[in-house]
Amino acid sequence: MIGQILTDMRPFLLILGTGIFGFGFFFLIRDPAVFGYDHELVGPAWPFVSVFLLALGSFDASDYPDRLSMVVLLLALLFSTVLLLNLLIAIMGDSYEMVKESEIVEKLKGQALLVVEHERLYPSANAFPRYMHVLRAAEGGDGGEASAWEGIAGKVKQEVAGLRKTMATADELAEVEQKMTKKLEEVAKKLEALQKGQETLLAAIQAGGKGTKSPGSSAGNTM
């Protein structure tokens, strides 16, 4: 995690270094007596160390007597304590979220690297292993390629896009369900009509059977 945060802090350190050198050279040119290279402790690095201490809140307002120096001092404070501090917090928060999201994957990757290192260090002991190490998709993965980290906002957009796809699929399923329901209702009506036709036909057959039996029965009675 710390390594990832330090890697993501490279743009921040570049901006911070540029600001320190810029303000340091300004104060050196403006007042060489105060911000000169002859500091007894840090020597030539004093103009830049003074700007760094200024960013930490350690400065003396009497070292900036004229108006221009005071304006640049306020700009340096605004640049270092407001802009860069909030930028640093945002970078560290984003790096933490990225590492936290892939925590399980990084853990499994570390374990796999340990296994590979052990097998390379002791090849004879692993010539006929008792176990086979199989690479499989992580739990919850969809088997596709992992998308690049785009920050917390990007992650939220990905989740929203996934929800929209799910909702679109749900709407399609609801539409298909409605069509199937209508088809089933039509089939049920047809079956009901067929059942009524069968009942009518059965009643007609029964009525015809009774009509054919009645003459025979009367002739038997006369005999």
Model confidence over 125-138: pLDDT tens digits? 766 667 776 767 65
Instruction: Compute the average pLDDT of residues 27-33.
Output: 77
Q: What percent of the chain has pLDDT over 90?
A: 0
Q: Bigger pLDDT: 18 or 148?
A: 18
Provide the CB-side half-sphere exposure for 99 (13 A, CA). 14
pLDDT of residue 223: 43
Average pLDDT, the chain: 77
Range in 33-47, 80-94, 160-174, 179-193 with the lowest mean pLDDT: 33-47
Distance from first CA to last CA of the chain, Å, rounded? Answer: 114
Number of CB atoms found within 10 A of residue 94's CB: 18
The domain spans of the chain are 2-101, 148-211
Q: Is the pLDDT of residue 124 over 70?
A: yes
Q: Rounded to the nearest 5 degrees, what angle is found at the Cα of 111, between the Cα atoms of 107 and 114? A: 140
pLDDT in the model for residue 209: 67
What is the predicted pLDDT for the residue at 148? 59
